[in-house]
Amino acid sequence: MGRTSRDRPIGATLADEIRTALGSPPDLVCRTVITDEGRAVQCVYLDSLIDKRAIDEFIIDSVRRNAFPEKAGEPAESGSPYMRELPLRAPYGTIRDEAVRAVVDGQCALIDEAKERLCLIDIYDAPGRQVEEPKTEPTIRGSYEGFTENIRTNIGLVRKRILDPQLRFERMTIGSRSRTDVMMIWMDNLAPQELVREVKRRLAAIRTDSVLESSYIEEFIQEKTLTPFPTLLNTERPDKVAAQLLEGKVAVMVDGTPFVLVAPLTFFELFSSAEDYYQRADIATFIRWIRLISFFVAVFAPSLYVAATTFHQELIPTQLLISLSAQREGVPLPAFLEVMLMEIVFEIIREAGLRMPRAVGQALSIVGAIVLGQAAVEAGLISAAVVIVVAVTGITNFVVPVYSFGMSQRLLRFTFILLAGFMGLFGVLCGTLLLIAHLVSLKSFGVPYMTPFAPVSMSDWRDTLVRTPRPRMDPNRLPASIRLLKRK
Amino acid sequence: MSRRSLAIAAIFALLSSLLASCWDKAEMNELALVSMVGLDRDPDSGLYTVWLQIINPASGASAQKMPGGEQAPVYTYKVSARSFAETQLSIYKLMPRKMFVHHAKAIILSERTARRGMRDFLNFTELMPDARSSVPLLIADGPLEDVMHTFTPLERNPADSIASRLQLLYELGLMSGRRIEIRDVIERSAKREIIVLPLVAPTARQGDPNSWQVNAEIDASINQLKVGGGAVIRDYRMIGRLSDKELVLYNLLNGSRGRFVRRYPFRDGHITVNMKSRRVQRKLEWRDGKPFVRVRIRLDISTLTMSEFHPQTMEEVRELERHVSRCLADELTAFLESARGKGWDLLRVRGLLRRKAPKLADLDKIADEAEIGIEVESRITGMGNLSRLYDGTGGER
């Protein structure tokens, strides 16, 4: 043992094989450390994935000082998942694969020829952001911490908020090529076992080569694909995830993305923000209603404008009709096309603004919003009222606290404009009925999407339509969605 | 979704563009917004003449920066034909946009048309699916052509001006009622009950009222329209008139709740009382086999406008209340007697009898014989700012 069939030192051979298996990457480091006893220990790691300080100050130093267990032959049980020792006596293919995998995972492989041991030490520290303010869900009051791309940091952000031994984590590796770390989190005493089992089952059933963002997972585990509505909450706020876990929900963290998934999700939870619980109850209720109104404005305003101005002019108050009619004098396009055109232009500007560098994006928004709108009105291409409708719609679209729900609203808005353009209010009404039917048919991990309105649970309206003051809330009462699952 | 389902959905989406509603669509700038309609029928030739006042969207505040912002607020189109339907078609010889009557604020009939009967016009209106029966109907007191060719100051659109004045006259003077719309005329006439419609008349003319002189003229009482008085309508036909004073009493008896002012003799002089109707109840009773209609009116009165007398004690307050009640009751009784003398059942006793005693034969005769008792109960609820009126010789008393 300790020798390959070609009678070459196994340490050097293993190091070479790791190099070959990884295609001799520039960040692979293979160095030989000579211990105080004069033994040569091969140290192999990927320079880009490890903590360099740990290598220099701890590992190399420890190896030199011969600080590892002395007992030859029998690897020590470290008891830590971050440090494993394997005997080199094991079948060579297994040892090689293990070493290659460990190096790719950001571990340092120490090959001690003399003691016939392979020691794998997890000193993973990939380059990434520090904890910063969440980009998509900023708040005025409350924590400014947001998740990062590092799953370990993210676990810490949740853990420090819930210092309860009942907090459970389960790690999975998904993606045959990316081998992404996925972490399931739940409160053992709060989350319904059925929900935990179901999430586990769906995660385990995923067959894919890579998971680069939590949306990959979302698409695999959501109940219905053909729906504009998100059935899993995605958030980059640790406080929100902590609150959801305390309500008995299950979170799914994916390494490499700050967006954490939470299941189950109901429609009205899309209108509540973490800040609702940091503000006074009356203010939070008011803001929640503003969000509800904004949703209706964002989805229906352009279609109602098209329907009313094209088919049902009798519904418009006389003075407003005169004013709108005056604005439309000389406008060449029908109201339907006018609105469609402006909405598409607005979406283009928004999309361009997102992709552009921040400094340019600001200039672009000025050009788009002011110059283009004003110029189009003055050129007589569109009426001023349409600019107002599109602008109001655009602004109200950003009111919802969940970005993915904002995207759903955009899709719905275009559908309703089409219906209004073809069939007027009748079309809008038909669309609304279909939308309601669709919403009622949706489920998120077995929970009806319209809970607590369908099925009705009036006691939960106190945290749906309004936000009841905290002293009047029962801290032990779980939301209707979770109670439903527990009852099953 | 399978490919077949997608194909079917796509076909349906395409076919939806052929839905009938697509042909119903009309852009706002393709519509002629009718704000007021005038109607006259020449009894000799039988020719109908229709005036349509169309709102000019390029005028007014919304179009101030647009070319044409200084144009006429409305344009009046006039067409004549043998029937209403023909007038509707003939209008397009003059008008380039589709007539849109949903926003009409007033319909004015010439007096001669109203006196001959408006049934045909109402039938025609009700047959039209896009017509509205909630439009106030007025009778022109004077040449209808003048009424339709007059701009109004302040409210530049004459229809808006009339609608606004009808509302103010109701709330602040009780000189207009709530039931003056087409549907009310149809409903009352069908029951052979009387309805009173407002009269509108052109005021004295100076210069050319059909020009910018209207805006340049400081005297707003000339070259404009005046709403006042009432046309008594029975069986779709105008049968008489009511003065402003009588109109107030009529509206009060018919349950209108506006505020109004009356002047009554009191002690050695007069008092001007501000009143507001609270409740009007009509009750049918039988006395010696004859119907007796008891009308109970509850009023809130105030001394706000009473610069002649200011009650200082509770006795004086009660005296004032009793006096006002008595005067108003007498006035109403006299008014009703005079109307009944003309054969006008302004209290709509006939309708009350039909409702309460539907099996009665010869309803008209019994209604004519019905006794009417008016009871007014007034209560002072408002006083002026003064605790006592200023004394001195520099006044009328």
- Average pLDDT per 10 consecutive residues for chain A, totaling 488 residues: 52 83 88 86 88 86 73 53 72 80 88 83 84 86 91 91 90 90 92 93 93 92 89 93 93 93 92 88 92 95 94 90 87 90 87 76 72 79 89 89 89 94 90 94 92 86 86 82 79
Residues in chain B within 8 Å Cβ distance of A321: 28, 33, 103
pLDDT at A1: 39
- Chain A nearest CA to B57, separation (Å): 5
Q: Does one domain contain both B174 and B278?
A: no
**Sole residue written with tokens 């006096």:** B323
Domain end (from B242, B265, B299)? B242
Supply the angle between the helices A384-397 and A318-328 in degrees, to the nearest 10.
110
Q: Kindly list the distances between the CA atom of residue A47 and the CA atoms of A41, A50, A63, A156, B181, in Å, as whole numbers in the listed order.
A: 18, 6, 18, 24, 88
pTM of the predicted protein model: 0.80
Distance CA A250, CA A190 (A): 10
What is the H or E stretch that residue A341 is in? Answer: helix A335-355
Distance CA A395, CA B136 (A): 42
Distance CA A69, CA A83 (A): 12
B18–A contact, CB cutoff 8 A: no
Number of Cβ within 10 Å of residue A36's Cβ equals 10
Q: Does one domain contain both B99 and B217?
A: yes
Residues in chain B within 8 Å Cβ distance of A324: 28
Residue B134 lies in a domain: yes
- B365, two tokens: 């005769």
Distance CA A215, CA A260 (A): 9
- Chain A nearest CA to B329, separation (Å): 42
What's B364's domain CATH number?
A: 3.30.300.210
| Lowest mean pLDDT, pick from A166-175, B159-168, B306-315, B329-338 | B306-315
Domain end (from B219, B242, B265)? B242
Residue B248 lies in a domain: no
pLDDT at A123: 86
- B184, two tokens: 């009310």
Find the residue in A nearest to B35 (Cα): A318
Q: Which of A310, A318, A427 is opposite residue B27, by nearest beta carbon?
A: A310
Q: Which of A226, A321, A424 is opposite residue B28, by nearest beta carbon?
A: A321
Q: Provide the residue type at B176 as one letter.
A: S
Q: Does one domain contain both B221 and B345?
A: no
Using an 8 Å Cβ cutoff, are A168 and A186 in contact?
Answer: yes
pLDDT at B391: 80
Find the residue in A nearest to B20 (Cα): A423
Using an 8 Å Cβ cutoff, are A68 and A111 in contact?
Answer: no
- Chain A nearest CA to B21, separation (Å): 5
Residue B359 lies in a domain: yes
Phi, psi (rounded to 5 degrees) for B277 = -70, 130
B100–A contact, CB cutoff 8 A: yes
Using alpha carbons only, what angle is made at residue B344 by residues B342 and B347, rounded to the nearest 5 degrees?
140
Closest of A326, A432, A339, A356 to residue A391, by C-alpha: A339
Q: Does one domain contain both B103 and B183?
A: yes
Distance CA A386, CA B319 (A): 64
- Find how far residue A434's CA is from the centre of its chain: 29
Q: Does one domain contain both B276 and B299?
A: yes
Write down the H helix ranges in B78-174: 84-90, 111-116, 119-127, 144-148, 158-173
- A184, two tokens: 């399931």
DSSP-derived 3-state class of residue A184? strand
Residues in chain B within 8 Å Cβ distance of A330: 29
pLDDT at A2: 44
DSSP assignment letter at A458: G
Give the β-pairing of B31-41 and A447-448: unpaired
Residue B250 lies in a domain: no
- Chain B nearest CA to A482, separation (Å): 31
DSSP assignment letter at A366: H
Residue B66 lies in a domain: yes
Residue B231 pairs in a beta bridge with B197, B241
Q: Does one domain contain both B57 and B204?
A: yes
Residue B89: pLDDT band with limits 50, 70, 90: confident
Q: Which of A329, A423, A427 is opposite residue B29, by nearest beta carbon?
A: A329
Round the average pLDDT of chain B to a whole number and report it.
Answer: 87
Q: Provide the residue type at A32 as one letter.
A: T
Q: Which of B21, B28, B100 is opposite residue A424, by nearest beta carbon?
A: B21
Residue B148 lies in a domain: yes
CB contact under 8 A, B57 and A226: no
CB contact under 8 A, A328 and B33: no
Write down the H helix ranges in chain B: 3-16, 20-24, 84-90, 111-116, 119-127, 144-148, 158-173, 182-190, 213-216, 244-253, 314-341, 349-356, 363-369
Write down the H helix ranges in A118-227: 151-159, 193-204, 214-221
Residue B54 lies in a domain: yes
Cβ contacts below 8 Å, chain A against chain B, sum to 77
> pLDDT higher for B288 or A73?
B288
* DSSP line for B156-202: -SHHHHHHHHHHHHHHHH--S-S--BHHHHHHHHHTT-EEEEEEEEE
B22–A contact, CB cutoff 8 A: yes
pLDDT at B384: 78
Q: Provide the residue type at A318 as one letter.
A: T
CB contact under 8 A, B27 and A318: no
Find the residue in A nearest to B31 (Cα): A325
pLDDT digits (tens, 9 = 90+) for A316-359: 998 899 888 888 888 888 899 999 999 998 888 888 877 777 76
Domain end (from B217, B242, B267)? B242
Report how many domains make up chain B: 2
Residues in chain A within 8 Å Cβ distance of B57: 322-323, 325-326, 329
> pLDDT higher for A378 or B75?
B75
pLDDT at B196 over 90: yes
Residue B97 pairs in a beta bridge with none
Using an 8 Å Cβ cutoff, are A221 and A208 in contact?
Answer: no
Distance CA B317, CA B324 (A): 11
Distance CA B143, CA B42 (A): 12
Q: Does one domain contain both B216 and B268?
A: no
Q: Does one domain contain both B92 and B152?
A: yes
CB contact under 8 A, A423 and B24: no
Number of Cβ within 10 Å of residue B389's Cβ equals 16
Distance CA A252, CA A234 (A): 9
pLDDT at A3: 45
- A402, two tokens: 């969940």
DSSP-derived 3-state class of residue A406? helix
DSSP-derived 3-state class of residue A72? coil
DSSP-derived 3-state class of residue B108? strand
CB contact under 8 A, B28 and A309: yes
- Find how far residue A134's CA is from the centre of its chain: 11
pLDDT digits (tens, 9 = 90+) for B136-165: 999 999 999 999 988 888 888 899 999 999
Using an 8 Å Cβ cutoff, are B384 and B310 in contact?
Answer: yes
B26–A contact, CB cutoff 8 A: yes
pLDDT at B69 over 80: no
Q: Does one domain contain both B237 and B117?
A: yes
B63–A contact, CB cutoff 8 A: yes
Q: Does one domain contain both B236 and B275?
A: no
CB contact under 8 A, B31 and A329: no
Q: Does one domain contain both B212 and B274?
A: no
B232-247 mean pLDDT: 93
Q: Does one domain contain both B186 and B333?
A: no
Site from A322, A382, A416 to mutate, B interface, most B CB atoms within 10 angstroms? A322
Using an 8 Å Cβ cutoff, are B244 and B226 in contact?
Answer: no
Distance CA A121, CA A103 (A): 9
pLDDT digits (tens, 9 = 90+) for B339-392: 989 989 888 888 888 888 888 788 878 888 889 999 999 999 988 777 777 787
B276-284 mean pLDDT: 91
Residues in chain A within 8 Å Cβ distance of B58: 326, 329
DSSP assignment letter at A7: -
Residue B61 lies in a domain: yes
CB contact under 8 A, B29 and A423: no
Q: Supply the range of the domain harboring residue B207.
A: 28-242
Closest of B337, B340, B347 to residue B368, by C-alpha: B340
* Cis, peptide link before residue A91, omega less than 30° from 0: no
Closest of B395, B376, B107 to residue B264, by C-alpha: B376
Distance CA B248, CA B268 (A): 26
> pLDDT higher for A358 or B78?
B78
Closest of A256, A259, A260, A339 to residue A302, by C-alpha: A339
N residues, chain A:
488
What is the H or E stretch that residue A242 is in? Answer: helix A238-246
Closest of B336, B246, B363 to residue B282, by C-alpha: B336
Please report the ipTM that was assigned to this predicted complex: 0.79
